[in-house]
Copies of this chain bind each other. A is one copy, B any other.
Amino acid sequence: MDELDREILEILRRDARTPYTEIAKEVGTSEGTIRNRVEGMVESGVIERFTVATRTGNVKAMVEITVDVNVHTGGLTEQMAEWEQVDFVWQVSGDEDIVLVVDTTDTRSLNELIARAREMDDVVSTTTRLILDEWLG
């Protein structure tokens, strides 16, 4: 993870379909080098995934979850990451312990997801905040 890697990441973050040849031109090296670097970052886990950011007109929300003290959240979080509508699962500091970022087709489906979370044994409470609008950095 040197400066070149960071430059490449910055370009990919804005547009992950930028061809290696064009990235190479932009940062002043060759296609092969970019390819090696990107493959290396995928290999090492620095790049977790190539993905799309969407604005489907769906209902997006943050669901903040509090769990029992002394519960190991590892199992919970991995389970929640499997749920259909979940984009991110974050373990966070602060009053709540887990934040889900979800993208659902409608409020009914959001409600079902919340219900599912509340049914889990170690979940003490949930707070939901609708994401009313979104900008990308």
> Which residues of chain A have a CB within 8 Å of any CB of chain B?
1, 9, 12-17, 45-57, 62, 77-78, 80-94, 99, 127, 129-137
Contacts and interface: CB of A to CB of B under 8 A. Distances in A.
A137 B52 contact: no
A84 B9 CA distance: 13
Q: What are the 8 tightest A-B residue pairs by CB atom distance, in nearest-first order?
A: A86-B137, A81-B135, A94-B129, A16-B50, A89-B135, A91-B133, A48-B53, A49-B53
Copies, count: 2
15 contacts: A46-B56, A46-B57, A47-B52, A48-B136, A50-B50, A50-B51, A51-B136, A78-B135, A80-B135, A87-B137, A89-B137, A91-B132, A92-B129, A93-B129, A99-B129
